Structure 1
Amino acid sequence: MKVIKFGGSSLANGDAFAQAISIIQADDERRVVVTSAPGKRFDDDIKVTDLLINFAKLTINGHNTQDVVASIFGRYQSIGHHFHVQDNDLQAIHDQLVALPKQHYPNNDYLMAAFKAHGERLNAMLMAIILNHQGIKARFIDPLDAGLRVTGTPNNAVVSPEAYINLSNLQYSDDERLIFPGFYGYSLSGYIATFSRGGSDVTGAILARAFHADMYENFTDVDAIYSANPKFVQDPLPIQRMTYREMRELSYAGFSVFHDEALIPAIQGQIPINVKNTWHPEKPGTFIVPEKNFKPDHIMTGIASGRHFSALYLHKYLLNKENGFTLRILQILDRNGVSYEHMPSGIDDITIIFDRNKLSDEQVDIVCSEIQSEVNPDRLEWIEDYAIIMVVGEGMANRVGVMRDIVVPVAENNISLSMVNQGSSEISIMIGTHRKDAINAVRAIYDYFFNQLEDEQ
């Protein structure tokens, strides 16, 4: 049995829906279907999720919502009409939209979560309606009825362990497709809560684990996951197979196909993942598989860069002799609700790397002031201009000279490195550069590993 998930661009309009349905029909093993909300149909279009967010804001502020409801329903109506579904068969979708402002919510965060989640919910309802209209037996599955329970906050939910037990007990027949909305579950008190990032990907991974699927197929708008960003490197090599941990390392640094947290349920269940293109389903795509018995095709699998980092540099003589120095820094970060990404250190130095998107200017000032006051370093410097590059590959683990192979091409391009750090798994090396140098560094390293080095071999 396979769990398949379609992204927003794969369900944006009638033509996209038709393509998705042809994919569902092409394989009887594709039994569980996860839907995203309709995405953009063209460049200047508005995603349905964004329309729902506007709907929620208008509701909170007591403004008229008639026009936005009409716009949202129009998206689903247009797709239904593409398949000659009559409006009376779509009435339940319209009724759900109209009823949203009338429901009880503990606070506005729960209201926002419920409104956002209906992009996926209504698309799953629509998919079931259309499939049945075409003679394909399908059933919309309400996450509440299925027991997809979550904990956490309304807009940052985490799957509850009991959800897997509940989902595994779901009854279904061999001749029906189960249509699940992605992106959300229900809190223990019965309110909708959404996953923060990669929401529908998370749902697909949860269901793949719960149903012990043979494969989790994730249909998107790219032919494969590439060894480098095609915007930075011309015609990068598509990755045929990679391991879970390679994907996690690369997602963290900037690979955009998956958020690094989205795959965890599938990883926990050891479910193979196949990333495929909705419009070219005949292509093999990229398989993401467990590490056991994995044999890499190349030394380096992929390279990714993130230019959204900043760093705090501290220098203090005899730092290594001072008990509790790092502890006091961590306590300051914790007190101010600040998380850090990495903390490479030397005998007298520590560099703390942050995701700048998660830090306000006020937090930066407060943290720096408190560290200066309580820790009293000899030097304290905030480095705004920071980029991280991750070089990842299972083939790097047992190869001598990988660090040289990375540093030499970077140096030959006159790029200075502010940090080099090899992970304990030995399948990844992280380097720090100035933001302006990150793309050239990616190109230099990619060229060496995939062109010069392989030519030599």
Structure 2
Amino acid sequence: MKKVVKFGGSSLANAEQFKKVGNIIRSEEDRRYVIPSAPGRRFSSDTKVTDMLYDCYHQAESGKDFSGTLSNIRERYDEIIRGLDLDLNLDDEFRTIAENFKNKAGIDYAASRGEYLNGRVMAAYLGYEFVDAAEVVAFDENGNFDDRRTDKIMGAKLDSIERAVIPGFYGAKPDGSIKTFSRGGSDITGSLVAKAVHADLYENWTDVSGFLMADPRIINDPVTISTITYREMRELSYMGATVLHEDAVFPLRKEGIPINVRNTNKPEDPGTMVVESTCNKPKFTITGIGGKKGFASITIEKAMMNAEVGFGRKVLEVFEDSGMTFEHTPSGIDTFSVFVNQHEFEPHEQQIIAGLHRNVHPDMIELESDLALIAVVGRGMRRTRGTAGRIFSALAHAHVNVKMIDQGSSELNIIIGVENRDFETAIKAIYDIFVVSQL
């Protein structure tokens, strides 16, 4: 087998964590390509190296003396190098960084150095070849990721390398300037490497033992999901489950490469397998529950709207003209509701109301704020009758008023709208009825 393994910042925060990672990689010969993040927090009040780099660059950009902050960053790496007893000197690297900071090489360059330096340390520790992500991850001149060029360059480069360390999070434009993905983008780099080398498995190592069925800040010790499909994971990621960067799914899904989310601190745990499809039947009717607060609903009421051709398009056109996306659009015979991010909506509120009056001449427009959306996701719901009824029953017993319910045509998820104040109560009630009662 050929495995690509990515380790998050918490897995590489200090020398002890590096040793755990080294033991994991060396325990299986198949783990041939390693993608490291920048060092994360060593303890709760600590600062991530990436944040230190941002701060350091802002000082340089403002013409301030940044040498002290850069020295603190250097010490983080030297501490790891000493702890691993490595014969590695980063003097030249930090001289180059200091010079580029003075020359204002850009915030993306600054942010990427955390992964770059950790890649250097990891390659020296493992005895693997170091491959700079700037050589194999391509962005175009406008800063847009070029997936085809990346796949071609990376595939050709790694084809002749048996074992390599490739830093996560960044690549380069045609002129050589550094460009980063969004925060958490090392997951994306890992998936790109897995696709390029035609890996059998992509392992994403972090500080949790896979995807949980619900937010552990709301549910005490939630059950770990053993197997989840790409589509289910996409739904849960969108609704706040942030174990894996959602954009990391697409390169792997194209190739049918499964993802195994594992815990660096508990390598014996099997974690969660993320797959295209599976005959594996879930233990529970639902796979997981996710949700977000901070939505608003705009309800347009107009008699006979269902007979008016293009009514929905005219409504959504108003939001489009204001540069707004929408979350859900539940409708009735004479009503049409649009759920949007409240923070984004508020600055455009009156503009949108006026636009709706001009476009569709409603009988009434009603706004409601401080709403939350909860997604109940699961492939098991397709063959189980009464799922929506059980949700309503659980919420009624918990005295939660349901503002909206919307089931996708795939029968993979049910979206429930509730007031922000009922968010946690609703998730607990749904988890209890589908999980706790079945244990």
Q: Normalization by structure 1: what TM-score?
A: 0.90
Aligned residue number for residue 125 of structure 2: 130
SS in 2 for 1:69: helix
- Give, in angstroms, the shift of residue 337 of structure 1: 1.8
1:90 aligns with 2:90: yes
Aligned residue number for residue 99 of structure 2: 99
- Give, in angstroms, the shift of residue 234 of structure 1: 2.2
Looking at structure 2, the residues matched to 81 and 365 of structure 1 have their Cα atoms a distance apart, in angstroms, of 60
SS in 1 for 2:261: strand
Q: Check the 8 A contact 2:9/2:37 in 1, yes or no.
A: yes
Residue segments in structure 2 that go unaligned for 5+ positions in a row: none
Aligned residue number for residue 412 of structure 1: 397
Q: Any idea what the Cα deviations from partners look like across 1:195-238, whole Å, max 9, x if unmatched?
A: 12430111111111111111111111012321112221222211
1:427 aligns with 2:412: yes
Q: Check the 8 A contact 1:153/1:193 in 2, yes or no.
A: no
Looking at structure 2, the residues matched to 305 and 343 of structure 1 have their Cα atoms a distance apart, in angstroms, of 17
SS in 2 for 1:383: strand
Looking at structure 1, the residues matched to 191 and 158 of structure 2 have their Cα atoms a distance apart, in angstroms, of 19
SS in 2 for 1:17: helix
Q: Check the 8 A contact 2:210/2:243 in 1, yes or no.
A: no
1:271 aligns with 2:261: no
Q: Check the 8 A contact 2:191/2:202 in 1, yes or no.
A: yes
Looking at structure 2, the residues matched to 189 and 316 of structure 1 have their Cα atoms a distance apart, in angstroms, of 55
Looking at structure 2, the residues matched to 71 and 404 of structure 1 have their Cα atoms a distance apart, in angstroms, of 57
- Give, in angstroms, the shift of residue 292 of structure 1: 4.4
Q: Check the 8 A contact 2:191/2:249 in 1, yes or no.
A: yes
Name the amino acid aligned to 2:316.
L
Q: Check the 8 A contact 2:61/2:104 in 1, yes or no.
A: no
Aligned residue number for residue 108 of structure 1: none
Q: Check the 8 A contact 1:93/1:125 in 2, yes or no.
A: no
SS in 2 for 1:380: strand
Q: Any idea what the Cα deviations from partners look like across 1:145-169, whole Å, max 9, x if unmatched?
A: 22x1134965xx5342221122111
Q: Of the candidates 132, 135, 146, which is equivalent to residue 145 of structure 1?
A: 135
| Cα 1:126/1:360, change in 2 over 3 Å | farther
Aligned residue number for residue 31 of structure 2: 30
SS in 2 for 1:218: strand
- Give, in angstroms, the shift of residue 56 of structure 1: 2.3
| Cα 1:223/1:387, change in 2 over 3 Å | same
Name the amino acid aligned to 2:148.
P
SS in 1 for 2:330: coil
SS in 1 for 2:221: coil
Aligned residue number for residue 47 of structure 2: 46
Aligned residue number for residue 184 of structure 1: 170
| Cα 1:93/1:310, change in 2 over 3 Å | farther
Aligned residue number for residue 114 of structure 1: 109
Aligned residue number for residue 274 of structure 2: 288
SS in 1 for 2:111: helix
Aligned residue number for residue 134 of structure 1: none
SS in 1 for 2:435: helix
| Cα 1:57/1:230, change in 2 over 3 Å | same
Looking at structure 2, the residues matched to 21 and 257 of structure 1 have their Cα atoms a distance apart, in angstroms, of 22
Q: Check the 8 A contact 1:243/1:294 in 2, yes or no.
A: no
Q: Any idea what the Cα deviations from partners look like across 1:83-142, whole Å, max 9, x if unmatched?
A: 22356x22233133213225575xxxxx111211111111111211233xxxxx311111
- Give, in angstroms, the shift of residue 190 of structure 1: 3.1
- Give, in angstroms, the shift of residue 249 of structure 1: 1.0
Aligned residue number for residue 156 of structure 2: 169
Q: Any idea what the Cα deviations from partners look like across 1:352-375, whole Å, max 9, x if unmatched?
A: 112345x16323443334334444
Residue segments in structure 1 that go unaligned for 5+ positions in a row: 106-110, 132-136
Q: Check the 8 A contact 1:31/1:177 in 2, yes or no.
A: yes
Aligned residue number for residue 209 of structure 1: 195
Looking at structure 2, the residues matched to 51 and 360 of structure 1 have their Cα atoms a distance apart, in angstroms, of 33
Looking at structure 2, the residues matched to 431 and 318 of structure 1 have their Cα atoms a distance apart, in angstroms, of 26
SS in 1 for 2:203: strand
Looking at structure 1, the residues matched to 100 and 256 of structure 2 have their Cα atoms a distance apart, in angstroms, of 38
Question: What root-mean-square deviation, in Å, do the aligned CA atoms of Structure 1 and Structure 2 show?
Answer: 2.1
Q: Check the 8 A contact 1:311/1:384 in 2, yes or no.
A: yes
| Cα 1:70/1:226, change in 2 over 3 Å | same
Q: Check the 8 A contact 2:228/2:287 in 1, yes or no.
A: yes
Matches within 5 A, 1:179-328: 179-328=165-314
| Cα 1:196/1:17, change in 2 over 3 Å | same
Looking at structure 2, the residues matched to 294 and 61 of structure 1 have their Cα atoms a distance apart, in angstroms, of 56
Looking at structure 2, the residues matched to 368 and 44 of structure 1 have their Cα atoms a distance apart, in angstroms, of 45
Looking at structure 1, the residues matched to 141 and 326 of structure 2 have their Cα atoms a distance apart, in angstroms, of 21
SS in 2 for 1:150: coil
Q: Check the 8 A contact 2:326/2:339 in 1, yes or no.
A: yes
| Cα 1:170/1:366, change in 2 over 3 Å | same
Matches within 5 A, 1:389-404: 389-404=374-389
Name the amino acid aligned to 2:119.
A
Name the amino acid aligned to 2:304.
L
| Cα 1:296/1:28, change in 2 over 3 Å | same
Looking at structure 1, the residues matched to 321 and 177 of structure 2 have their Cα atoms a distance apart, in angstroms, of 30
Looking at structure 2, the residues matched to 99 and 360 of structure 1 have their Cα atoms a distance apart, in angstroms, of 43
Looking at structure 2, the residues matched to 369 and 53 of structure 1 have their Cα atoms a distance apart, in angstroms, of 42
| Cα 1:59/1:393, change in 2 over 3 Å | same
Name the amino acid aligned to 2:414.
I
Q: Check the 8 A contact 2:257/2:275 in 1, yes or no.
A: yes
SS in 2 for 1:350: strand
| Cα 1:205/1:309, change in 2 over 3 Å | farther
Q: Normalization by structure 2: what TM-score?
A: 0.94
Looking at structure 1, the residues matched to 320 and 19 of structure 2 have their Cα atoms a distance apart, in angstroms, of 50
How many percent of aligned residue pairs carry the same amino acid?
Answer: 37
Looking at structure 2, the residues matched to 42 and 182 of structure 1 have their Cα atoms a distance apart, in angstroms, of 22
Aligned residue number for residue 18 of structure 1: 19
| Cα 1:381/1:259, change in 2 over 3 Å | farther
| Cα 1:360/1:184, change in 2 over 3 Å | farther
